[in-house]
Structure 1
Amino acid sequence: MATLPGNPSIAQRIAHAALSPSHRQIADYVLDHPLRVAAMPIDELASVTGVSIATANRFARALGFEGYAQFRAALVLGFESALAPVEKLRSRLDQSAGVADVFAAVLADMAGNIERTRQGLDRQECARAVEAILGASRVFIVGFGSSSWLGGLLLRNLELYCENVQLLTSIEGSSYAARALHRLRPDDLVIAIAFPRYFSDTVLLASRAHEAGIGLLALTDSANSPIASMSSIALYANADSQYYANSEASALAMIEALSSAVAHASERSVKAAEQLTEAVLPWLHGSHSGRLRPVAEGPASKERDETAVSRKKLASKEPE
């Protein structure tokens, strides 16, 4: 093998290696699908590239590794957070468990996440978060990927108590959010939501708000999150999951807790609740909502009225 720079990448190793036709076949697949290969055990790579397991092992040694395990470990570097759900899922599937066991285990994990989130609450940060939301002229919510759904729930709750709340997630993507954040004012607040796997767009837009000196409230999983260090206020929700990149349950619980605290502190919470109830009452199921709807005129309604009158007359008659 030719001389390589210190800590060479897999691509550099492949470029400098003398590879046989079968090894080149594997190399082409690795270069085209590095993330996929990083999650593959040796038998899967051998099968997909049409070579033997022994050939796959010799390919790894041709690149300067002791074996396939060392090759795969090097390939994984840089993909740790992206591959974490794959590795966790592979590990769980290797263990025998019934369907009900999975239900119970996941629900137990959710409960544990929420309890750890509760125990880790910083009372001062909670108070500052509520004060910042109610004191802001405008609140902008930023979150992409699964965090966009979390942002939608936060918007739904906060718009009852804040005059101007905007969710900067649209079909246009991050460019819409970038244009909106360009108009930020000092009395605005940006709420950035990011959980593993962190979307780079969320991190970039949060950094823009931070650089502009705008208040930034981070809803994330830990102080190691890329948006935590740039935030002026941070609320953390444990989000460990056995099957996915993160669990949404504790994040949803944190959002509901934050919204409830805002409602408790808001001077217009009762009025807002009354207005909301009045607005949605005609759409609620039950007899109480039916009375609010106008009675349709026409033959059908006339027939119903006549039937009701007849039943009333029959009920009032004395038995013979």
Structure 2
Amino acid sequence: MAETNLLISIRSCYDQLTRLEKKVADYVLQHPQEVVKMTINELSNSCGVGDTTVFRFCRSMNVGGYQDFKLALALSSNVNDMLDSKGEFNLAQSQDLHELAQQVSGVFTDAVNETLSSLDYDAISRTVEAILNARSVHLFGFGNSGVSALMMQNRMMRILPNIFYTSDVHMQLTSAATMQADSVAIIFCNSGITKDSIRIAQMTHEAGAFTVFITKFMQTPAAPYADVLLCSGATEGPIQGGSISGVASQMYIVMLLYSELFRRMETRAQENKIKAAHAIAERKL
């Protein structure tokens, strides 16, 4: 399929599709750029069919699954059109370093502004309250979302002694499986459809832990397991996975949580930060 234009394949196979599959095909042919950034639930709702129909349609197109379908769709179209207006492909086409610097700055600014515009202040407040009352706080994430989780640990441990993160996937799954009810789980997953992230959310929810899921796609399959969904605000296509805009939006959420925690902890946060600063200062010349 990677060597075949998917849009052409859809048209050539159209008459062999079922009535419901044709509804999916019609929508994909009319809105290829939008479909590339949709979850399977969003596409099925837009077509007026069930998720299973979309899966059957993907099999009819000889692709391994929905994510493979979206990648094939992106590769079958103009790649630049599949990306945000300031995606990495567009940055690579900058005329000079000064123009590139302005565009990179715009990527970060747009990501933060998009996150701010969709911010749920009550969800932020509930998350902070849960962290303050938790026995332990466990962070989860893979790929660039794992980088955000690590950055959150590095920031938060200056004022909190009970925040934990490990990059190893087996250790993350083990941590989720042994979670306690008086703990908080914070899961970074920009796409909202990473299997391990969804499984972790399910396990921490079943353990009774307060579960926070940070994602762009609020219709993520992890939603039923989350006490709080935080919208990170950065849309990515299948070719854009791990984009700087996704990290920027997640780090904005991290800094907002940190700042609100610091404000509520008052002198205790200040005292802990001073202790951490002294410990680090002893390592410097």
The alpha-carbon distance between structure 1 residues 164 and 241, as it changes in their structure 2 partners (threshold 3 A), is same
CA deviation after TM superposition for structure 1 residue 133, in Å: 0.9
Structure whose alpha-carbon radius of gyration is higher:
1
State, as a whole percentage, how many aligned pairs show the same letter: 17
Q: Deviations over 1:30-70 (max 9, x none)?
A: 4xxxxx346x589xxxxxxxxxxxxxx89x8589679xx98
For the Cα contact (< 8 Å) 1:113–1:238, is it kept in 2? yes
1:183 aligns with 2:178: yes
1:271 aligns with 2:266: no
1:126 aligns with 2:124: yes
Cα distance in 2 for partners of 1:101, 1:198 equals 34
* Equivalent residues in 2 for 1:193-212, closer than 5 Å: 193-196=188-191, 198-212=193-207
Q: Select which of 104, 107, 122 maps to 2:105.
A: 107
Q: Is the 8 A contact 1:81 1:196 kept in 2?
A: no
Structure 1 residue 96 displacement after superposition = 6.3
The CA distance in 1 between the partners of 2:13 and 2:264, in whole Å, is 66
Take 1:224 and 1:162, find their aligned partners in 2: how far apart are those partners? 31
Shift of 1:166: 1.6
Q: Residues 83 and 157 (structure 1 numbering): CA distance in 2 closer, same or farther, change over 3 Å?
A: farther
* Matching residue of 1:259: 258
The structure-2 alpha-carbon separation of the partners of 1:235 and 1:63, relative to structure 1 and needing over 3 Å to count, comes to closer
Residue type at the aligned position of 1:186: A
- Normalising by the residue count of structure 2, what TM-score does the alignment of the two structures yield? 0.67
Query: In the alignment, which of 131, 137, 143 is matched to residue 135 of structure 2?
Result: 137
Asked if 1:215 corresponds to 2:214, the answer is no
Code of the aligned partner of 2:153: L
Residue by residue over 1:119-144, the C-alpha shift from the partner in whole angstroms, topping out at 9 and shown as x without a partner, is: 22222111111111111001111111
Deviates more, 1:241-250 or 1:110-119: 241-250
TM-score by length of 1: 0.60
Residue of structure 2 aligned with 1:116, choices 114, 125, 131? 114
CA distance in 1, matches of 2:208, 2:162: 20
Aligned amino acid, residue 189 of structure 1: V
CA contact (8 A) 2:183 2:209 kept: yes
Higher relative contact order (CA closer than 8 Å, sequence separation 6+)? 2
- CA shift at 1:189, angstroms? 0.9
- Whole-Å separation in 2 of the counterparts to 1:104 and 1:89: 22
Tell me the SS of whatever aligns to 2:233.
coil
Conserved in 2, the CA contact under 8 Å of 1:114 and 1:250?
Answer: yes
Unaligned runs of 5+ in 1: 1-29, 31-35, 43-56, 285-289, 291-320
Offset, 1:118:
1.2
Matches within 5 A, 1:1-320: 30=1, 36-37=2-3, 61=12, 74=61, 78-79=66-67, 80=69, 82=71, 89-91=79-81, 97-99=94-96, 101-170=99-168, 173=169, 175-196=170-191, 198-240=193-235, 244-245=240-241, 246=243, 247=245, 248-267=247-266, 268-284=268-284, 290=285
CA drift of 1:222 comes to 3.4
SS in 2 for 1:192: strand
Deviations 1:261-288 (A, max 9, x none): 212222421111111221122344xxxx
Give the equivalent residue in structure 2 for 1:8. none
Q: Distance in 2 between matches of 1:101 and 1:84?
A: 30
| Cα distance in structure 1, aligned partners of 2:177 and 2:145 | 21
- Provide the aligned C-alpha RMSD in A: 3.7
The answer as to whether partners of 1:85 and 1:244 remain within 8 angstroms in 2 is: no
Which 4+ residue blocks in structure 1 deviate beyond 6 angstroms?
62-66, 69-73
Shift of 1:229: 3.7
Q: In the alignment, residue 273 of structure 2 is paired with which amino acid?
A: A
Structure 2 residues not aligned, in runs of 5+: 18-27, 30-56, 84-88
8 Å CA contact retained: 2:118, 2:233? no
> Residue 238 of structure 1 contacts residue 250 of structure 1 at CA under 8 Å; is this kept in 2?
yes
